[in-house]
């Protein structure tokens, strides 16, 4: 039912300011879930896959950014996702950048955001994770607080990791958002290495105390050169990091030049970045080898786009902007396309 209703509701939602529409959408989603209007898709056994020691009921996940504070994991899970990634979460609560900071580009089926990791902080979000009923893997995307200097980034990431790790199924290290000043510098191998080393040490302590071996992934930018992507992939393999996510949003605007709102600062997501995100997958796969899991995200707004990402070398896919424009039926469409491919 929710699949048929969303096209009727979308014009109203798109008449609202972006963040207000976000709040209203989640209110509707929670109501629909309470009324039993969700959960139309039941994953088939053959759709599942085991990666990083986790069982994914299917290959379609929700990308970080939509449920920053892990408030709606159960309702989102009822849409048919095989896994959900909440966040980005920081060690300390922060307000993010000044509003307005979320803009639609309907002509391009795209969004631009400069949110700046607004979230309620690791402690609050960890408590919500502990209460979830969603049975699929739930990852947490962690970032650096805006007030933390780059030279103190490793400590800040570890502080956040230690709080959320006991309640997450995997943790993604976000060093690729364009909306926190200088954050992308942390993708440079000489700066990324100490962060990952510190997180690996924190994981050893977690495993020692609880027995939990928590997968760690790294999320990268689509604006990196092939050489930079290869260097990060080699580092990931060297340190035995569990996986990678490609990609975050882009700061390039060539593909949306002249489209209303394209002049806004921030990260561009949606259909215009599909080709840019997709071309990173074979590069990363070449240097990761066959055994390091790779999650594709960026412009996946159809079954065909999802199949293309998997055929390019991804193991799983995530969606976000496509869900805003297409609605929940996108999940079902992708699952059908993947099953037939």
Neighbour tally for 231: CB within 10 Å: 18
Query: Which ranges in 110-224 belong to alpha helices (H)?
Result: 122-130, 153-164, 189-210
Given the residues 177, 221, 262, 280, select the one marked as catalytic. Answer: 177
| Backbone angles phi and psi of 330, in degrees to 5 | -60, -40
Q: Is 73 exposed, middle or buried (0-12, 13-18, 19+ CB in 10 A)?
A: buried
β-pairing verdict for 83-89 and 102-105: unpaired
β-pairing verdict for 110-113 and 267-270: antiparallel
Two structure tokens written together for 17? 């300011």
DSSP annotation of 57 reads S
Question: Which of 171-185 are b and which e, b meaning 16 or more Cβ less than 10 Å from the residue's Cβ?
Answer: bbbbbbbbbbeebbe
What is the rounded distance in angstroms from the CA atom of residue 301 to the CA atom of residue 318? 10
Answer for the pair 221, 248: CB distance below 8 angstroms, yes or no: yes
Only one residue has tokens 């840019």, namely: 276
DSSP annotation of 287 reads H
Three-class DSSP category at 18:
helix
Concerning whether 177 is annotated as a catalytic residue, the answer is: yes
What is the rounded distance in angstroms from the CA atom of residue 132 to the CA atom of residue 90? 20
Active site residues per annotation? 177
């Amino acid at each position: 039912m929710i699949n048929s209703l969303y096209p009727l509701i979308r014009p109203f939602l798109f008449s609202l300011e972006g963040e207000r529409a976000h709040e209203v959408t989640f209110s509707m989603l929670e109501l629909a879930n309470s009324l039993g209007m969700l959960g139309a898709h039941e994953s088939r056994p053959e759709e599942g896959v085991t990666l990083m020691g986790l069982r994914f009921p299917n290959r379609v996940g929700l990308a970080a950014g939509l449920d920053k504070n892990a408030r709606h994991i159960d309702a989102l899970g009822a849409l048919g996702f095989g896994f959900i990634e909440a966040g980005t979460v920081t060690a300390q609560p922060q307000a993010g950048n000044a509003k307005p900071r979320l803009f639609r580009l309907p002509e391009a089926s795209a969004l631009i955001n400069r949110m700046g990791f607004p979230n309620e902080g690791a402690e609050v979000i960890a408590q919500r994770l502990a209460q979830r009923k969603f049975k699929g893997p739930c990852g947490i995307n962690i970032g650096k607080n805006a007030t933390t200097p780059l030279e103190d980034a490793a400590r800040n990431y570890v502080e956040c990791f230690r709080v959320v790790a006991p309640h997450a199924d995997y943790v993604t290290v976000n060093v690729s958002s364009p909306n926190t000043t200088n954050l992308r510098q942390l993708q440079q191998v000489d700066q990324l290495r100490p962060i990952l080393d510190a997180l690996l040490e924190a994981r050893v302590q977690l495993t020692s105390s609880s027995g939990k071996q928590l997968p760690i992934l790294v999320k990268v930018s689509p604006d990196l050169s092939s050489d930079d992507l290869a260097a990060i992939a080699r580092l990931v393999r060297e340190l035995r990091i569990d996986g990678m996510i490609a990609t975050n949003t882009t700061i390039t605007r060539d593909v949306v030049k002249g489209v209303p709102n394209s002049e806004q600062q921030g990260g561009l997501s949606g259909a215009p970045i599909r080709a840019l995100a997709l071309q990173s997958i074979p590069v990363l796969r070449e240097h990761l080898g066959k055994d390091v899991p790779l999650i594709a995200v960026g412009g996946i707004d159809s079954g065909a786009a999802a199949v293309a990402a998997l055929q390019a070398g991804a193991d799983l896919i995530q969606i976000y902007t496509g869900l805003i424009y297409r609605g929940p039926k996108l999940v079902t469409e992708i699952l059908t396309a993947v099953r037939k491919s």
